[in-house]
């Protein structure tokens, strides 16, 4: 399942990937984000749960397709400051895919985003304030915007 949630007071989003995922779920999530540009502009924590697994797709081939869509969604955004994104991966077998996704990504790649990542939420402190990391850890005060299962 892919969920997108918003913490309005802190202007944060959390995108959570859990369980068995299909290409269709990723495509549906990107279609929703494309319809809601403010979702794409938000500082975001991407949480990859320990139980995540990809069904019926070659992971890297799917990521290549998603990179094209990602660029189409993020490139035209007017972001006046850098968007922050933390990738927190609790699934060791998914790390190679996270590394592949983030390879050659940086604040000057035209997508106005800066990234950090790690195996725990503490890794997000490179870019995010303690209160923001604490809010994500607590999980409260987030409004579910969309779910794809």
Q: Confidence band (pLDDT; 50, 70, 90) for 73?
A: low
Give mean pLDDT, residues 72-81. 63
Q: How many other C-beta atoms lie within 10 A of the C-beta of residue 130?
A: 9
Q: What pairs with residue 21 in β-bridges? A: 54
Residue 19: the pLDDT is 95
Summarize pLDDT for 19-29 with one digit per residue, the tens.
999 989 988 99
What is the 3-state secondary structure of 76-126? CCCCCCCEEEEEEECCHHHHHHHHHHHCCCCCCCCCCEEEEEECCHHHHHH
Q: Confidence band (pLDDT; 50, 70, 90) for 35?
A: confident
| Cα angle 38, 11, 15; round to 5 | 70
Q: Confidence band (pLDDT; 50, 70, 90) for 112?
A: low
Give mean pLDDT, residues 77-94. 82
Residue, of 10 and 69, whose pLDDT is higher: 10
Q: How many other C-beta atoms lie within 10 A of the C-beta of residue 135?
A: 20
């Amino acid at each position: 399942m892919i969920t997108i949630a918003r913490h309005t007071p802190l202007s944060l989003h959390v995108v959570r990937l859990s369980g068995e995922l299909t290409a269709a779920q990723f495509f549906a999530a990107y279609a929703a984000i494309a319809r809601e540009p403010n979702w794409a502009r938000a500082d975001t924590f991407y949480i990859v749960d320990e139980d995540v697994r990809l069904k019926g797709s070659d992971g890297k081939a799917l990521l290549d397709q998603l990179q094209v869509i990602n660029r189409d969604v993020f490139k035209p955004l007017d972001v006046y400051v850098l968007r922050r994104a933390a990738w927190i991966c609790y699934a060791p077998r998914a790390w190679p895919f996270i590394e592949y996704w983030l390879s050659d990504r940086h604040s000057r790649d035209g997508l106005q985003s800066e990234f950090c990542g790690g195996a725990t939420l503490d890794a997000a402190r490179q870019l995010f304030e303690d209160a923001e990391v604490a809010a994500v850890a607590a999980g409260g005060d987030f409004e579910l915007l969309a779910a794809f299962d």
